[in-house]
């Protein structure tokens, strides 16, 4: 067995200096590492709160390998790489040689031979990014852009940046509710892990039993499960609504979308049960009239589009930090904040 195959994702994410190398999952990373990502992301906004462009990754090549559909994630990774002055190559997997029978390893080795420094990977199989991290040359960094139901670490970090920026409160003092299809959601899993690591003491997971994963009650005492939305959102500071992941559901977990909206749709009456300052988030794509009412999605408490902009800053941070070891060698590291 290859030695790396014995490593867990969290172990192979850090280099010998304890700095981020690959970004595969939130689990196993320290509060300091997550805070460093948030602070670095924040440093990519100027005083007018606009994203900056920097030469930090000039001459580096970022390859976007998306084996699964994506709008926001792929585009914001591309925008992030361009703002860092890297070269970006989007591989159209549907038209690549993997569809002619080439193995994933062979595809990767060929792309590496084209001088890739970072692969941004989205895949429908849980563990795909970890597998790729074990298969590539040591100088190549892997960023997980979502693997199956497992993890979506950059989404979690852009969610954390949005929460930190919009609430202006320490994570320890926040009550956060996550509503919807928790069972099939890599976002829910990564959000809970990030909130716990950053010190949040009150995480409420709200879903019908059919959309709750087994073992979620073992996540820790900070995490409480609610079947009734009205109970779960009482006085919370942050609500994260999630889409029903129809593409990952083998048999219908709910009788209908209308039924889901009736029981779990975020509308004005329900939002009024949270704190008046409560912010509403959604990773997208949003199904209006299913998990969220349009009046809320377009209302003053929604920060859904801020999440998208923060996604560019967080992805810039993760791309830059994953090259930190190599930038250090070139004396460029002072350019990264913190």
Q: Is 155 in the site for ligand NCD (CB under 6 A)?
A: yes
Residue 155 Cβ vs ligand NCD, minimum distance, rounded to whole Å:
5
* 72 makes contact with ligand NCD (CB under 6 A): yes
In the complex, what is the shortest distance from the CB of residue 140 to ligand NCD, in angstroms, rounded to a whole number? Answer: 23
Phi, psi for 5 (deg, rounded to 5): -65, -15
From 52, 80, 27, 71, select the one nearest 318 (Cα to Cα): 80
310 lines the binding site for ligand NCD (CB under 6 A)? no
The interaxial angle of helices 153-167 and 31-42, nearest 10 deg, is 70
User: Taking CB under 6 A as the rule, does residue 26 contact ligand NCD?
Assistant: no
Q: Cβ closer to ligand NCD: 152 or 165?
A: 152
The DSSP bridge partners found for residue 328 are none
What is the rounded CA–CA span in Å between residue 313 and residue 65? 20
The answer to whether the beta carbons of residues 235 and 206 sit under 8 Å apart is no
C-beta neighbour count of 219 within 10 angstroms? 17
Nearer to ligand NCD, 60 or 243 (CB): 243
In whole angstroms, the minimum distance from the beta carbon of 112 to ligand NCD comes to 26
> In this complex, which beta carbon is closest to ligand NCD, that of residue 130 or of residue 152?
152
Among 81, 160, 179, 187, interactor with ligand NCD by CB under 6 A: 187
Question: 64, 208, 283, 321: which one contacts ligand NCD (CB under 6 A)?
Answer: 283
Secondary-structure breakdown of the chain: helix, strand, coil percentages, each rounded to the nearest 5: 45, 15, 40
Minimum distance between the CB of residue 59 and ligand NCD, rounded to whole angstroms? 29
Q: Which of 146, 148, 153, 232 binds ligand NCD (CB under 6 A)?
A: 146
How far is residue 90 CA from its own chain's centroid?
A: 19
User: For ligand NCD, which is the closer residue by CB, 146 or 265?
Assistant: 146
Task: Decide if residue 211 touches ligand NCD (CB under 6 A).
Answer: no
What residues between 229 and 258 interact with ligand NCD by CB under 6 A?
243, 245
**Sign, CA torsion 315/317/318/324:** positive
Phi, psi of 137 (to 5 degrees): -60, 155
Burial of 215 (0-12, 13-18, 19+ CB in 10 A): exposed
Report if residue 73 touches ligand NCD, rule: CB under 6 A: yes
Instruction: Report the interface residues with ligand NCD, using CB under 6 A.
Output: 72-73, 146, 152, 155, 186-187, 243, 245, 283-284
């Amino acid at each position: 067995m290859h030695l790396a195959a014995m490593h867990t994702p969290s172990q192979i994410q850090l280099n010998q200096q304890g700095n981020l190398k690959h970004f595969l999952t939130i689990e196993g990373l320290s509060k300091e590492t997550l805070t460093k990502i948030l602070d670095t992301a924040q440093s990519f906004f100027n005083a007018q709160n606009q994203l900056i462009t920097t030469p930090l990754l000039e001459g580096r090549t970022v390859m976007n390998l998306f084996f699964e559909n994506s709008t926001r994630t792929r585009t914001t990774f591309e925008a992030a790489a361009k703002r860092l002055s890297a070269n970006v190559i989007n591989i159209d997997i549907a038209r690549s040689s993997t569809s002619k029978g080439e193995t994933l390893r062979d595809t990767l080795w060929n792309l590496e031979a084209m001088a890739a420094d970072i692969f941004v990977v989205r895949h429908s199989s849980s563990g795909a990014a970890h597998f790729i991290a074990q298969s590539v040359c040591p100088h190549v960094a892997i960023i997980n852009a979502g693997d199956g139901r497992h993890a979506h670490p950059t989404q979690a970090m852009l969610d954390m940046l949005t929460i930190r920026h919009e609430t202006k409160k320490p994570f320890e003092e926040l009550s956060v509710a996550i509503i919807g299809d928790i069972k099939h959601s890599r976002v829910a899993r990564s959000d809970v892990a990030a909130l716990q690591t950053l010190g949040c003491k009150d995480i409420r997971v709200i879903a019908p039993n059919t959309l709750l994963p087994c073992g979620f009650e073992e996540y820790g005492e900070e995490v409480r499960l609610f079947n009734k939305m009205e109970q779960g959102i009482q006085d919370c500071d942050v609500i994260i609504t999630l889409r029903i992941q129809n593409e990952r559901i083998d048999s219908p977990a709910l009788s209908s979308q209308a039924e889901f909206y009736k029981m779990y749709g975020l509308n004005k009456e329900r939002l009024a049960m949270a704190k008046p300052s409560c912010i509403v988030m959604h990773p997208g794509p949003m199904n209006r009239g299913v998990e969220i009412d349009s009046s809320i999605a377009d209302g003053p408490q929604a920060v859904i589009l801020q999440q998208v902009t923060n996604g560019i800053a967080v992805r810039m941070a993760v791309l830059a930090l994953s090259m930190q070891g190599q930038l250090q060698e070139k004396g460029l590291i002072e350019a990264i904040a913190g």
